[in-house]
Amino acid sequence: MNRVDLLKNRRAALLESGLEIRAVIDKIIDEKSFVELSAYSFSESEFYGEKAEGEGVVTGFATVKDFPVYVVAQNPSVFSGGVSKANCDKICKALIAAQNNNTPVIYILDTKGVRTGEGVSVLEGIADVLYEMNELRGEVPQFAIVNGDCFGAFSLIAAACDFTFYTDKSCLSYASPAVIAATAKAGTDKNGVGGKASVAKTGIADFTVNDVSEIRDKIAAILSIVPVTGSPFEDNGDDYNRSTPSLDEKVCPDCLIQAVFDEGSAIEIGKGFADDVRCVIGRIGGMSAGALLFDGGEDGVSLTGEITEKINNFVCMLADFSMPLVNFVNTKGISKDFNVSSSTVLKSVANLVYNLSGLTKIGVVYGKAVGLGYSLFAAKSMGYDYSYAFCNASISLFDSLEGAYVELGGVTSENEAKLAEKYKEENQDPINAAKDGYIDNIIEPRFVRQYVIASLQMTER
């Protein structure tokens, strides 16, 4: 057999060992753009006594809508995607190449855990992968796609990535549902442990899709917005001076997203987890930016540990990629609920203060900025470059009813509504904060886009 035929046979065997995962890769990347690396790094599993062709992981580089990316894809066809030392070495080679070339990485995760029998070697391998991932953090965006089961230490990869995708087949957990069931001596629901149903509790999934093919467009859109891979400024033709008169009547997070972000550019991250706060990236006046939008209706959002954690993750991601933050504030500060008070919320808020420092940020109070809600998300003393308030917003130390009880006194169940209204009229008008120089301007809601763009233009310089 000549060398070319031998190579063809070897390649056929290699492709045969990863048909399933290669089909998944093909759905994400541009057609015929994948160049495989470390393709023939075979080794023999001492424990199983079998050859592990391709070492259970496919690595290489490709393009996604013309954006270059590195791909690390676990192959569930080889030892159920079991993680080995050789497997980790192969991944690290790809990550070092990505770092040298400043290129984003896409991880396609599908593993039942580590291959037993390798002892501490595999633990070293896992540490090596996590170390290299950390080296890439803030340099390039890292995407994780939980393609099937992802148990064991590699579940950390999904948690460590900047953007994580879940599909209908996803199940991500450190301990597999079988182990959890054995520990609990009871049956467990796989979907509830790490499937789509767990998204609302874990907050790991940034995007939930029905099929892997939907991920391609989303990755390309993110890469075009994030300044390190896209362009910090891209004029998309949306009018800088577009006003939204309907905001004068009704303000909500969705209305603000439509009013402020350039048409079709907004991408929401972490939908399904702590939805009282919405995290969105996109372009505002052509500039890359992130926005934190507090929902909460008329009452405003009360901060919990989960909400603060979501904000922390978002703020860290923006800081990593040098993207400015615009807050649309409607919060009463930390919740006074017993469960929240006895949780880790204070530590999370303290971390948030640290994470917010150094970030370019603009505060726009559209609803309530009460108590710590004002200090954290709109106060110039917190380092906000510009702070604005809608003319119908409320800024104060206390919420209206609380303020009536604390500051007015003589409140009874009959007159509390009236006195709360009195407190609101006398103390919550944003003009008070503006008179003291804490708020730069009080604006008509319809012109919020103009104010945000003009301010971002100044911070950009």
User: Which residues face 390 on adjacent strands?
Assistant: 443
CA distance 70 to 165: 17
- Of 44 and 235, which CB lies nearer to other proteins in the complex structure? 235
- Of 344 and 441, which CB lies nearer to other proteins in the complex structure? 441
Q: E strands of 263-383, at which residues? A: 267-269, 277-284, 287-294, 301-303, 325-334, 361-370
From residue 20, give the alpha-carbon distance in Å to each of 23, 27, 76: 5, 11, 8
- Of 66 and 239, which CB lies nearer to other proteins in the complex structure? 239
Per 3-state DSSP, the chain is made up of helix, strand and coil in percentages (nearest 5) of 45, 25, 35
- Of 32 and 461, which CB lies nearer to other proteins in the complex structure? 461
Three-state SS across 224-245? HHCCCCCCCECCCCCCCCCCCH
List Cβ neighbours of 328 (8 Å cut-off, separation of 6 or more): 253, 256, 260, 291, 292, 293, 294, 364, 366
CA distance 318 to 291: 10
Helix (H, G, I), strand (E, B) or coil at 354: helix
- Of 57 and 453, which CB lies nearer to other proteins in the complex structure? 453
- Of 161 and 443, which CB lies nearer to other proteins in the complex structure? 443
User: By the 8 A CB rule, do 281 and 221 touch?
Assistant: no
Widest pairwise Cα distance in the chain:
99
Q: How far is the CB of 241 from other proteins (least distance, A)?
A: 6
- Of 175 and 442, which CB lies nearer to other proteins in the complex structure? 442
Burial of 285 (0-12, 13-18, 19+ CB in 10 A): buried
User: By the 8 A CB rule, do 84 and 51 touch?
Assistant: no
Q: How far is the CB of 457 from other proteins (least distance, A)?
A: 5
Amino acid type, 238? D
- Of 40 and 233, which CB lies nearer to other proteins in the complex structure? 233
Amino acid type, 112? K
Q: How far is the CB of 460 from other proteins (least distance, A)?
A: 7
Binding stretches for other proteins (CB under 8 A):
233, 235, 240-241, 243, 285, 444, 447, 450, 453-454, 457, 460-461
Nearest residue to 223 via CA among 143, 318, 310: 143
Q: How far is the CB of 446 from other proteins (least distance, A)?
A: 8
Nearest residue to 432 via CA among 389, 375, 403, 382: 389
H helix or E strand, kind and range, residue 387: strand 386-390
- Of 45 and 450, which CB lies nearer to other proteins in the complex structure? 450
Q: How far is the CB of 237 from other proteins (least distance, A)?
A: 12
- Of 38 and 450, which CB lies nearer to other proteins in the complex structure? 450
Query: Tokens 């439509």 correspond to what residue?
Result: 258
Q: Packing angle between helix 85-100 and helix 120-136, nearest 10 degrees?
A: 20
Q: How far is the CB of 439 from other proteins (least distance, A)?
A: 16
Nearest residue to 37 via CA among 59, 13, 14: 59
Q: How far is the CB of 287 from other proteins (least distance, A)?
A: 10
- Of 119 and 245, which CB lies nearer to other proteins in the complex structure? 245
